[in-house]
Amino acid sequence: MNGIHDMGGMHGHGPVEHEKDEPVFHAPWEARMLGLRRGATFPPEVNLDRWRHIRELIPPHLYLSRSYYDHWCMTYTAALLHSGWVTAEEIKSGHAAPGSAKRNDAMRPDEVWPAQKTRGIFTRAVETTPLFAIGQRVRARDINPTGHTRLPRYVRGRVGIVRLHHGGHVLPDTNAHGEGEAPQHLYTVAFAMRELWGADASPHDEICADLWESYLEPA
Amino acid sequence: MAHHHHIHADLPPDPALRVKALESLLTEKGLVDPATIDAWIEAYESKIGPHNGAKVVAKAWVDPAYKQLLLSDGTKAVAALDLLGQQGQHIVALENTPDLHNLVVCTLCSCYPLPLLGLPPVWYKAAPYRSRAALDPRGVLREFGLELPEHVKIRVWDSTAEIRYLVVPERPAGTEHLSEAQLAALVTRDSMIGVAKVKAP
C-alpha cells in the first residue's frame, strides 16, 4: 500500500535527533511491550509480514505522532481484535470477560533463548531458475498494490543493477494476507542516486534495496 | 483489512496505561506469562547488544581468514560465533574502505540486525532518518558529525527484506598493538550502522 510508512525520499520530517548514551528503554512500559511482542501468543495468521502490514495501517496522524513501542501496542491491539481473540470491552478494562476461556500454553521463561536462536529464518527452497543474474540491468515494476509489499515507492519504474542473489525467500506480499509463503528469488538491486533523484544527486552514490523477483522486469 | 477501527480513540492516550492493561488482559487469558516478559527484557538488556557486532568486527580486523568468510558469507561467519538470532538469521557484512562508505537504513519500518546490535536507537526508527537516508545520505551523515570527502562513494542499504546488514568499519590507525578484545571495545553501534567512524583510543 502507498502508506505513510513508505518514507524513503520524503522531506519535512526535521533533523535526525541523535541521543547520546541512549538507554535500551526510555520507560518501563516500552520494555513490557517488547516482552509482549516477543513472548506473548499471537493469532496464527499474525506472522511477521501481517504484523508489519497492520502497523502500516495505523492511521497516518497516529503513525507520525506516536512513538515506536506505541505503534507496537496499537498493532497488537488491532491484531487481537481483528482475530477475535479479545473484545473491545476487554481491551478497555484490561481484564478477561467473566467465564472466558483461559489457555495454558504461553511461552515459558526457559523457552526464551531457544526462541531467540531459532525464530525468523525466511529462506525457502525455490525450484525455478533465477530470472536475473548478478550484473544484469533490471527495472523495478511500477505497481501500486493496496495490500502489503516491500517494494518502496522511490524505486518503482527505475532501473538498477542486480548486485546480490539471496536464493528463495518468503514473499511478504502473499504471506501478510494469508496467501502462503510463495517463496521467490530475492535480489539486492543497486540504483544510482541520479536514477532516483535526478541530476542534482551525487554522481557516484547509490542505494541498494532487496527486491523479490516479481518486483522486477528486465531492462 | 480495516484493522484499527476506532479502537485507539476509545483508549487512554498514555501508552503506559494501554500496555499495562494489555499485559493484565493477556495474562488473565493465559496468552502471556509475565515472567517470560521479564526474561525477554533481561535478554535484550544484557545478552543481545552491540557488543556482539563489535566482536564480529574485531575478529575480522585481526583474522584475515575470518574477514574473508564474513564478507563472502556473513551468515556463516556470524554463525561461527553463535551470534545469529531472531531478526538476524541472514547476514550480509559490508566493508567500509577509504573509497567506499556503507550506510544502513530501513525506509519501510525498522529492520535492523538485532542479535548483533541490540534494539535499534529511536532515531533509526524515526521519520527523519528513514526519509532522508535514502535521498540525502551525505546530509544525514553531516548531522551525525561525519563529513565525507566528495570522492568517497556512499552506498546506502535499504533493508527491505529479511537480509540484515552489518557495516564493518575501517580499523583506525595506531591500533596495531591492541588485542582483539581491546579492539572490540572501540567499535560502536553507530559505526556498525554506518553513521560514524571508529576512533582510535
Give the ipTM of the model, two decimals please. 0.97
SS3 content of chain B, % helix, strand, coil (to 5): 45, 10, 40
The domain in which residue A207 lies consists of 137-218
Chain A residues touching residue B2 (CB < 8 angstroms): 57
- β-pairing, A216-218 vs A137-140, is antiparallel
Q: Are residues A110 and A150 in the same domain?
A: no
Query: What's the confidence (pLDDT) of residue B41?
Result: 98
- Average the pLDDT over B6-15 and give the result: 88
pLDDT tier at B10 (50, 70, 90 boundaries)?
confident
Q: Are residues B39 and B117 in the same domain?
A: no
**A72 neighbors B120 (Cβ within 8 angstroms):** no
Q: Are residues B73 and B128 in the same domain?
A: yes
Which of A118, A146, A176 delimits the end of a domain?
Answer: A118
Q: Are residues B137 and B42 in the same domain?
A: no
Q: Using one digit for the tens of pLDDT, what is the confidence trace for A80-115?
A: 999 999 999 999 999 999 999 999 999 999 999 999
Question: Would B3 be classed as within a structural domain?
Answer: no
Q: Are residues A61 and A141 in the same domain?
A: no
Question: Would A170 be classed as within a structural domain?
Answer: yes
End-to-end alpha carbon distance in chain B: 53
Rounded CA separation B190/A17 (Å): 13
Q: Using one digit for the tens of pLDDT, what is the confidence trace for A61-75?
A: 999 999 999 999 999
Question: Would B6 be classed as within a structural domain?
Answer: no
Rounded CA separation B17/B24 (Å): 11
Q: Are residues A33 and A108 in the same domain?
A: yes
Question: Would B30 be classed as within a structural domain?
Answer: yes
**What is the CB neighbour count within 10 angstroms for residue A44?**
9
Rounded CA separation A83/A171 (Å): 22
Write A190-198 long-range contacts (CB < 8 A, 24+). Answer: A190/A160, A190/A161, A190/A163, A190/B155, A191/A155, A191/A158, A191/A159, A191/A160, A192/A160, A195/A158, A195/A159, A195/A160, A196/A9, A196/A154, A196/A155, A196/A158, A196/B134, A197/A9, A197/B135
Question: Would B117 be classed as within a structural domain?
Answer: yes
Q: Give pTM, 2 decimals.
A: 0.97
CB pairs under 8 A between A and B: 309
Question: Would A6 be classed as within a structural domain?
Answer: no
- The shortest CB-CB distance from A57 to any of B4, B92, B105 is to B4
Average pLDDT, chain A: 97
Task: Look at chain A and report how many structural domains it folds into.
Answer: 2
Q: Are residues B88 and B163 in the same domain?
A: yes
- The shortest CB-CB distance from A8 to any of B15, B86, B134 is to B134
Task: Look at chain B and report how many structural domains it folds into.
Answer: 2
Check B86 against A76: CB less than 8 A apart: no
Question: Would B200 be classed as within a structural domain?
Answer: no
